[in-house]
């Protein structure tokens, strides 16, 4: 993923938004016993620069937002900033340990993983990784941290106790977002190969590579650990559904354009896709993987975090200025971000 700004949105998608996205509620299931999701609030964060992944810490009522060279920490009960981890070069992702003590940030610009104290937000250590670490995950069985390096196409494995690199695992292509299943396995999308890899955290080896069909450039990845399902979100308005034990692709679901992140609600069996066109897709994973809602959000709100304690989805975006002229060195320039417009969209049910 590692797009601090959204990929260009197709004219067709923008026209669709201009006409107004309607909320669709189809099929049956537990989700229909409640009202559809809605945009409940906008939390103004401000500042400058781009962004990438975000992560909710339900127990602490905190939300971590990667934002250029820093990570913003937001109180989810008030919507107000309560701290920040600073001093980095280009943040991408955040992972949290299973003991509630420390967190880990992939500093892609610094080719490092930064360890921080979750009480004080002070930096505790900086650990060299591969080139441009992007997605990051904490594996609770082996107590290891996995940083997936986009440019060097490998994974850096760090022992959480010693804070030392214990393995570097070559990957078949450019990795995107990882998920750990809590049983010693780590999964990741390989964006440029249209595959998912499975890694064994005990042996620290790649044990399987699974091709995706009709799911191009997979970016975000959600997981249903109870039912062994993986949900990669892809270009072409498609979410894949993959058996996490066999690697078999068992279904696809329709989502919005320009997805970059995914989430999963284990209580209601819902899978989410946040889409750069300005929509949140909600898929019923218990009843045939049907899309039961398409919620209009904001252009560029393509990364998300799900808070299972409050049934809230958090998205981030900002307002955009003009797109610079294309050059030979930069043929696909991203639009500028208007300063102090960075915000969190709070999605939930009234």
pLDDT tens, 189-233? Answer: 999 999 999 999 999 999 999 999 999 999 999 999 999 999 999
Say whether pLDDT at 13 is over 70: no
Say whether pLDDT at 20 is over 60: no
Q: What is the mean pLDDT of residues 22-51?
A: 72
Which of 46-55, 116-125, 329-338 comes out lowest in average pLDDT?
329-338
Q: What is the mean pLDDT of residues 8-21?
A: 43
Say whether pLDDT at 58 is over 90: yes
| Residue of 303, 344, 334, 263 whose CA lies nearest to 52 | 303
More confident residue, 92 or 333: 92
pLDDT tens digits, one per residue of 131-141? 999 999 999 99
Say whether pLDDT at 44 is over 80: yes
Q: What is the pLDDT of residue 233?
A: 98
Say whether pLDDT at 29 is over 50: no
| Residue of 268, 275, 269, 229 whose CA lies nearest to 252 | 229
pLDDT grade for 52, boundaries at 50, 70 and 90: very high
Half-sphere exposure of 7 (CA within 13 A, CB side): 15
Which tokens is 272 given? 């989410």
Contact 86, 69 (CB under 8 A): yes
Question: Distance between CA 192 and CA 5 in Å, rounded?
Answer: 19
End-to-end CA gap in the chain:
32
Say whether pLDDT at 321 is over 90: no
pLDDT tens digits, one per residue of 245-272? 999 999 999 999 999 999 999 999 999 9
Distant-in-sequence, close-in-space partners of 329: CB < 8 Å, separation ≥ 6? none
Count of positions (residues) in the chain: 350
Is the C-alpha dihedral spanning 326, 65, 44, 299 positive or negative?
A: positive
Contact 106, 135 (CB under 8 A): yes
pLDDT tens digits, one per residue of 276-305? 999 999 999 999 999 999 999 999 999 999
Contact 105, 143 (CB under 8 A): no
Domains with residue ranges and CATH for the chain: 20-49+214-323+330-350 (2.130.10.10), 51-211 (2.130.10.10)
pLDDT tens digits, one per residue of 150-198? 999 999 999 999 999 999 999 999 999 999 999 999 999 999 999 999 9
Q: What is the pLDDT of residue 31?
A: 44
| Residue of 230, 208, 278, 322 whose CA lies nearest to 15 | 278
Phi-psi region of 345 (alpha: psi -120 to 50; beta: other; left: phi over 0): beta
Flag whether the pTM goes above 0.75.
Answer: yes
Per-residue DSSP letter, 213: S
Contact 7, 319 (CB under 8 A): no
Q: What is the mean pLDDT of residues 306-330?
A: 92
Q: Label residues 219-228 b or e (16+ Cβ within 10 Å = b).
A: bbbbbbeeee
Q: What is the pLDDT of residue 34?
A: 56
Share of the chain above pLDDT 70, in %: 90
Question: Distance between CA 239 and CA 113 in Å, rounded?
Answer: 30
Average pLDDT, the chain: 91
Question: Distance between CA 232 and CA 243 in Å, rounded?
Answer: 11
């Amino acid at each position: 993923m590692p797009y601090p700004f959204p990929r260009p949105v197709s004219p067709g998608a923008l026209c669709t938004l201009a006409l107004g996205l309607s909320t669709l509620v189809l099929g049956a299931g537990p989700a229909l016993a409640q009202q559809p999701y809605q945009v409940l609030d906008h939390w103004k964060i401000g500042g400058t620069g781009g962004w990438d992944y975000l992560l909710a810490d339900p127990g602490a009522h905190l939300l971590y937002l990667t934002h250029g060279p820093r990570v913003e920490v937001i109180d989810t009960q008030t919507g107000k900033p309560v701290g920040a981890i600073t001093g980095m070069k280009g943040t991408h992702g955040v992972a949290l340990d299973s003991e509630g003590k420390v967190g880990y940030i992939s500093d892609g610009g610094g080719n490092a993983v930064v360890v921080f104290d979750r009480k004080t937000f002070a930096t505790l250590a900086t650990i060299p990784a591969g080139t441009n670490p992007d997605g990051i995950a904490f594996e609770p069985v082996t107590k290891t941290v996995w940083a997936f390096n986009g440019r060097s196409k490998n994974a850096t494995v760090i022992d959480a106790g010693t804070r030392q690199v214990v393995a570097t695992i070559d990957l078949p292509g450019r990795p995107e977002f990882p998920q750990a299943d809590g049983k010693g396995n780590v999964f990741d999308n390989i964006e440029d190969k249209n595959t998912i890899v499975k890694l064994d955290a005990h042996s620290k080896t790649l044990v399987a590579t699974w091709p995706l069909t009709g799911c191009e450039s997979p970016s975000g990845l959600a997981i249903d650990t109870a039912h062994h399902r993986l949900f990669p979100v892809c270009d072409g308005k498609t979410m894949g559904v993959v058996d996490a034990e066999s690697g078999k692709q068992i279904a696809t679901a329709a989502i919005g354009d320009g997805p970059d992140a995914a989430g999963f609600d284990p209580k209601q069996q819902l899978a989410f896709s946040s889409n750069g066109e300005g929509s949140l897709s909600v898929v019923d994973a218990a009843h045939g993987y049907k899309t039961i809602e398409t919620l209009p959000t904001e252009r560029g709100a393509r990364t998300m975090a799900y808070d299972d304690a409050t049934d809230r989805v958090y998205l981030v975006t900002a307002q955009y200025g003009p797109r610079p002229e294309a050059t030979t060195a930069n043929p696909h320039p991203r639009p500028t971000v208007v300063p102090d417009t960075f915000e969190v969209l709070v999605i939930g049910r009234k």
